[in-house]
Every structure is written in C-alpha cells, then in structure tokens.
Structure 1
Amino acid sequence: MEDLTKHQIILLFILVSIVVSFTTAILTAALFNQEPESVTQTIQRVVEKAVGDGKETVHVVTDEQRVIDVVGEVSPAVVSIIATKDLPVVGECMVSPFGNDDFFGQFFPELRVPQLCERGKEKRQISSGSGFFVRPDGLLVTNRHVVNDTDAEYTVIVNDGRRLKATVLARDPLQDMALVKVSGKDFPFIKIGDSKNLLAGQRVIAIGNALGEFQNTVSVGIISGLRRTIVASGEELHQLIQTDAAINPGNSGGPLLDLSGTVIGINTAVASGAENIGFALPSSIASKDINDVEKFGRIIYPFLGVRYEIVDRQLKEEKKLFVDYGALVISNQGSVAVTPGSPAEKAGIKEGDIILDFGGERIGRDNTLAEAIARRQVGQTISVKILRAEREETLQVVLVERKF
C-alpha cells in the first residue's frame, strides 16, 4: 500500500507538470502572437471611468480634433486691424500750358492741355494685419509694423463683423510689438502663456487675418527652431520662435498657440524666398510690454551703456584673448565703447573688459549681453563679472531707463 501510494504521488506530480507546462505554452504563445496596440505621435487617450456602474469610457483625441477645438475656442478673440488714411485724390485737369504767363496766354486763351492734379482727399485703406484680445476690457496685442503709421486711423474688425475704433496705447521701440485698445467690455480673450520652456518639435497653431481678407485663417506646424535672429524691414529681431506653420503677411500680429490654446508667440515675419519658414516673437515680450504699460504708462527698457562684440573661438584667436565666451567691450568708428555718464561708466567698466557674467547669467553666443539686460528691470542693481588683464573682477551696476 505504501509503494502504491508513492507510485500514485509520482504519477500525480508528472500529470501536474504536464498541465502546467501546457498552460504556460498556451499563454506564452498568446502573448507573443497578440496584436500590438497602435501607437502614433498624433493620438493620445483620455480615459474617464464611470464611478457608479464600473464601466470604462475611452475617448480617443487626435491632434486634428485638438486643433479644431482650439480654433473654435480662440477664433472669437482674433481680430483684423486695418489702417486708413486721408490720401489725395489725383485726377486729370485741363490747364493752360503757359501757366500764369499772361503774355502768351492772351494769344491762346482757349488752349488747354491735360495735367494731373489733386481733387480733394479721401480715406483709403493703406494696410491690414491681425491682432488678438488679451483682456476682456478691449486690450489687444499686435505687431508694431501693423500700427506703425502715427498719422493713420485704425479700426478693429471683430469676429462678428463689428468695426471698432482703435487707439494705439504703445509701440515697443525695440521689438515688433504694439498694444492697441478698443472701448467696450466682455470681449473674448486668449491667455498669454510662458514661452520660456518651449521645445523644438512642439506642435503649434498660427491664426490670423491672412492677406487682409478680414476672416481668420489657420495653419498648423511645429516649432522648428528657437532663439533665432533675423533682419526684417530693416531691423534686427532677436529671440524668435521659428515655425513651419504657414505665416502670411496678413497673419502679422496674430497668435501662435500651443495645443492647449495658450499664446506662446506673436506671428511677425516670414522668411523671404524660403518655404515653410515663419517667425514669431515669444509671448514673454508681450507680457513684459503689458506690465510696463500698466505700471509706467509706456514700454521701457533698461540701459547699461556699452558697445560690445560677443566672444567666441574665432574672436579669441583674432584678438588673442584668454577666454572664448563673454562680451568684449570695444569701440568702432563712430561709436565709443562705454557711453559717457552711463551706468557702465559709473560702475567702472572700461574698453577692453570682457563681461563674463551678468547677474548670474553667463554671457555668450547663446545668451547675449543685450538679451540678459532686457530681462532686467530699470533701477535694478546687477553684479557684473568682468575679465580685465587676466584678472576677474565683480562690479555693481545700477540700470537706468534707455532713451529712444
């Protein structure tokens, strides 16, 4: 009986092993042959679980749907801005070829020749662009070049077709940015976001009044570059967001949005002769300008008072310098290195100094001195680390308001 029991135990063990092995094989095969879940860059899942009945509802949200939703939300806040001006009406007039010369006129009193002459004036549209509300009280952001003519009159055409007289509150003296105001309240507006943490490859939406058609147009793309510098309309623009979202001339002043519908930039330029390259000013500039106008009644910038060249490896070798970064304080023909009476002169900065650090920020090609200064406040005291004759020194400088 004892031997039989052992035999049964052995058989039972073998049987269990077979069953376990067979089951494991089936499960393994099922797992390896399972269809993989489709995952793409354009689909995200939002899962909402019903608390009561334990059911699970899955909503699949695509980038396309996000764009549609954002456009629907923000379009009422995007406007057209048109500039009009009294311009002379020129027509053809018949005049005497002798002018006021009575001697010849008396012999040919009926002789007349055609000549262009002014026949009064009429109000005409001279330009158009885009803008968007950032406050319910009628405050708008646009590009400076959209409202740059101080003699023109400006009209805002809102989403429902109404035409509102607009006043230019401030024009940014350094950036292609301006603030405009219309009378009224409860306007739809768009939230200004933080442009400091943007990433290349991030999806963006550009909205504006493309080509002056007075209706919002939409283009979608990605951020293809950051901190770009270009020359547009004769001025140098810095810290720009580069995007392949189509930006047309009429889109100027419209918002560049992320997929949450927050403003991260202001459309400002398109690269001439290049396809799919547009640029936008970072939204941080708009935030600064709004704060300045609310606090000072104007847009202000801090001033240091030096002329400089950014130090890199090439300049280091050319000038026989000791470092390959920083800002070399240097004059050129017609420009002094340090402005007399400026904060820089008062702090002791001299020609030939290399500004290595400004307020804790390392200065170089990726962070110029002008950019570091622009992030500071008028009246602020800044520690400036310089290199002078192979020796580092730290100076204290008090920034003043820049005069334009």
Structure 2
Amino acid sequence: MNRFLRSPYAKTAGAFLAGVLAVAAVLALAGVLHGVPGLSRSGAAAIADAQAAELPGLGPNTIADIVSRVGPAVVRIDTTVQGERYVDPFFNDPFFRHFFGDQFRIPMQSEERRGLGSGFIVSPDGYILTNEHVIAGADRIEVTVAGRDKPYQARKVGADHDLDLAVLKIDAGNDLPTIPLGNSDSVRVGDWVVAIGNPYGLDHTVTVGVISAKGRPVTVEDRRYKNLLQTDASINPGNSGGPLLNLNGEVVGINTAINAQAQGIGFAIPSSTVKAVFDDLVQKGGVSHPWLGVYLQQVTEELASYFGLQDLSGALVASVVSGGPAEKAGLRRGDIIVRYNGSAVNNPNDLIELVGGTAVGSQVEIEFIRGGERKTVTAVIEAKRP
C-alpha cells in the first residue's frame, strides 16, 4: 500500500478533501456558484434574476427590452471638416515660428478630415442631442437613423463649448423614434446603466455597467467639466454624444469622455444639466454663463501669513477683469473673498460653483477681506463674454 495512505497525514488530507467536496455541493445546490460550468446557471442569468428581484415587473430580458425600445432613436453622426495641408520650411521648429509665425508656410493641397460620434433623437420632428466636440468646426454633418435608406444632412441649432452640448436638427418627417430624458439626480451609485453608441464605427454597440461615482470634475484640454456621472460601462471613441440609460430606458447622461490612463472608466453629462439648458440651446443657439470677472488663487500658508489671516479659507483675487462685474462692484487684486451671497467660500472652487449657480442679472453680496478688515460689496452677475 502507498506509504502516504498509511501516514498520519492521510486522515487529515482525506477529511479536508471530503470537506471541500461537501461545501462545493452545498454551494452548487444553493445557486451560489453561478457561472461555473457544470455546477449551476450562468453569471448573466444570475444578474438578470437580481435585476428582476430589485425591479418588480421587469423580467430577465430587461436590457434587451430597453435596447429594442429605444435603440432606434440612437443615431450615428459623421462630420467633415475642410482644411489645407501646409509645408513648413522650418520643419515646424518652435524657435523659428516664434519669430516668423506662419508667413512662410506653403499650402500644398486641400485636406478633408472626418469625425465620428453618436447622438439621440429627443423629438419626433428631428431634434438631436450630442456633444459639442463631436460637431465642432464641422462643415458638413450627416446623421444616420437606423432603418432609413440614407443619411440626413443635419444643421446645428445650438451649441455650448463649456458644457460640451449641442442640438442638431434633421428634416425626416414627424414620426422619428425618440428617447425621453430621465432624472439624473435620482441616480444612485451602483445603479445599472446601459450605453448605446458607435464606438470605432461599430454601429449601435450596447454596453452595460453601473454608476460608479457622481459629481466628478474632469478636465479635458480646455474644457473643465463639472458634476459628471462616472460609469464602468465601456465607453470608447465614437460613443461620444450617445445616451447613458437607466433601466426604465430613460437618458440619465450623455456619454462624453474616457480616461486614457484607465480601463473601464467613462464619464457622462447628467441629464439634469441638459434639461436646464435645452430650451436656450434651441431658442437662443447658446447658453448664457454667469460671470463675475475675476481670476482666483488658492490661499497658501505664505499668503495667509502675508495678509495676517488666521486660516487658509477663502479665494484670493489674483486679478480683476477690466469692466467686469467684480471691478464695477469695487473688488481689487489682493482681496480675499470669504462669503458669496451668504454662503461660505473656503477655496476658489467653492466660488466658481456658487457663481456658476447664479442667474445672469442677479445681485449678490460678496464679503471679502482687505487689509485685515472685512468688507461687503454688491455685484451684478453678467453673462460670460465670448
């Protein structure tokens, strides 16, 4: 007989193996080992069951039902930008361009650049929401609607660079499929969401994930996004402008940005932001952003010591725009703003958020510190200059 089987460890090993098999059998019977081949049902079925349990009345085909119902309202947006290609005799050297600029660049030929994005129809007569960066600078915009024979020429109705939102219009009758805007404020971290778009030109691609965070500030080039929804639903180039849907098939966000350094992290503009500015985009062609006319700086320990402050709270006015609301109200460089219309200002971001939530034309009280003394002025918030 094998020496191992006669050794003192044989009983222990046999007991351990028997215990593992017993636990596996119990787990399989209890349905815990979903997705393990040969043991129980698939992980996808488990997820569907969980969704149905949490949302009474929704069956295991919830995602498929959503896609079938609202998917036809998701459109593909192709753009064309005309330009010229140049030859630079200085090989684009920044030293020479500093002195000579572009005066020696030689135009060689016309160049056509193409772009791709997504969007979705919000009215039966052809109004479409998308990102501003999808159609920025485009000379030609084509919209492809599922089930239609050919693309439609679209015109830009309104756009806003800072919010990265745009409204397009196509003339394709009055019976187009639509997707309703939902309430992004009620979305919770962990809620299931569905993204539909055209990543890499793969039309009507569907991905599923959850809301992984809310209120994310993200900076991409010259855009400073605020209050974005973060999701792990796959979002790739070409998804921009497409809808992020809740399990009722309502839009809770517009897919906007991805994190190039991370996999599985995407961001969407909340539908509450879209609702607040949609009428202005359609009726006025743009959005009036509130503006105070100051450049701000964080209060550091050195600055606090210089100004004789007890703490680092407040927003230091680094400069004042000539003729702006702040200058008209009497604010100067070096003032430290500590309250805005009754709300505490602990840092520059606080003031930016407070001003951003103020209606253009409103009168606001601004409390600040100058020369160790607290002062108060009244300013009238104006629309941001182009």
Q: Same fold (TM over 0.5)?
A: yes
Q: Is the 8 A contact 1:312 1:364 kept in 2?
A: no
- For 1:83, the equivalent position in structure 2 comes to 79
CA distance in 2, matches of 1:219, 1:133: 19
2:357 equivalent to 1:369: no
Question: How far did residue 317 of structure 1 move?
Answer: 7.3
CA distance in 2, matches of 1:207, 1:168: 22
After superposition, where does 1:2-401 map in structure 2 within 5 Å? 42-44=51-53, 61=58, 65-85=61-81, 126-150=114-138, 152-161=139-148, 162-183=150-171, 184-213=173-202, 215-311=203-299, 321-330=309-318, 337-364=319-346, 368-401=350-383
Runs of at least 5 residues in structure 1 that lack an aligned partner in the other structure = 1-35, 48-58, 90-116, 331-336
CA distance in 2, matches of 1:86, 1:342: 37
Question: How far did residue 340 of structure 1 move?
Answer: 1.6
The alignment's C-alpha RMSD in Å is 3.4
Q: Is the 8 A contact 1:312 1:365 kept in 2?
A: no
Q: Is the 8 A contact 1:310 1:368 kept in 2?
A: no
Q: 1:364 to 1:160 in 2, by over 3 A?
A: farther
Question: How far did residue 155 of structure 1 move?
Answer: 0.6
CA distance in 1, matches of 2:325, 2:147: 51
CA distance in 1, matches of 2:210, 2:120: 21
Question: How far did residue 128 of structure 1 move?
Answer: 0.8
Q: Is the 8 A contact 1:380 1:399 kept in 2?
A: yes
Q: 1:314 to 1:280 in 2, by over 3 A?
A: farther
Q: Is the 8 A contact 1:228 1:239 kept in 2?
A: yes
Q: Is the 8 A contact 1:142 1:252 kept in 2?
A: yes
CA distance in 1, matches of 2:231, 2:379: 37
CA distance in 1, matches of 2:358, 2:278: 15
Instruction: Kindly provide the amino acid, as one letter, of the partner of residue 351 in structure 2.
Output: L
Question: How far did residue 78 of structure 1 move?
Answer: 0.9
Q: 1:224 to 1:298 in 2, by over 3 A?
A: same
Query: Per the alignment, in what secondary structure is the counterpart of residue 184 of structure 2?
Result: coil
How many residue pairs get aligned? The number is 319
Q: 1:365 to 1:203 in 2, by over 3 A?
A: farther
Q: 1:182 to 1:311 in 2, by over 3 A?
A: farther
Q: 1:374 to 1:191 in 2, by over 3 A?
A: farther
Q: 1:323 to 1:259 in 2, by over 3 A?
A: farther
Runs of at least 5 residues in structure 2 that lack an aligned partner in the other structure = 1-29, 33-45, 86-107
Instruction: Kindly provide the amino acid, as one letter, of the partner of residue 275 in structure 2.
Output: S
Q: 1:127 to 1:264 in 2, by over 3 A?
A: same
The C-alpha deviation readout for 1:198-253, integer Å capped at 9, x for no partner, is 4322322211112123x211111122222323332454333222211110101000
CA distance in 1, matches of 2:382, 2:84: 44
CA distance in 1, matches of 2:275, 2:304: 37
Question: How far did residue 375 of structure 1 move?
Answer: 2.3
CA distance in 1, matches of 2:183, 2:302: 35
The normalised TM-score by structure 2 is 0.72
Q: Is the 8 A contact 1:322 1:390 kept in 2?
A: no
Query: Per the alignment, in what secondary structure is the counterpart of residue 211 of structure 1?
Result: helix
The C-alpha deviation readout for 1:364-384, integer Å capped at 9, x for no partner, is 469532232222222122233
CA distance in 2, matches of 1:365, 1:155: 44
Q: 1:164 to 1:307 in 2, by over 3 A?
A: same
Question: How far did residue 285 of structure 1 move?
Answer: 2.9
Q: Is the 8 A contact 1:82 1:125 kept in 2?
A: no
The normalised TM-score by structure 1 is 0.69
Question: How far did residue 147 of structure 1 move?
Answer: 0.3
Q: Is the 8 A contact 2:366 2:377 kept in 1?
A: yes
Q: 1:318 to 1:264 in 2, by over 3 A?
A: farther
Bigger radius of gyration: 1
Q: 1:328 to 1:232 in 2, by over 3 A?
A: same
Question: How far did residue 403 of structure 1 move?
Answer: 1.4
Question: How far did residue 397 of structure 1 move?
Answer: 1.5
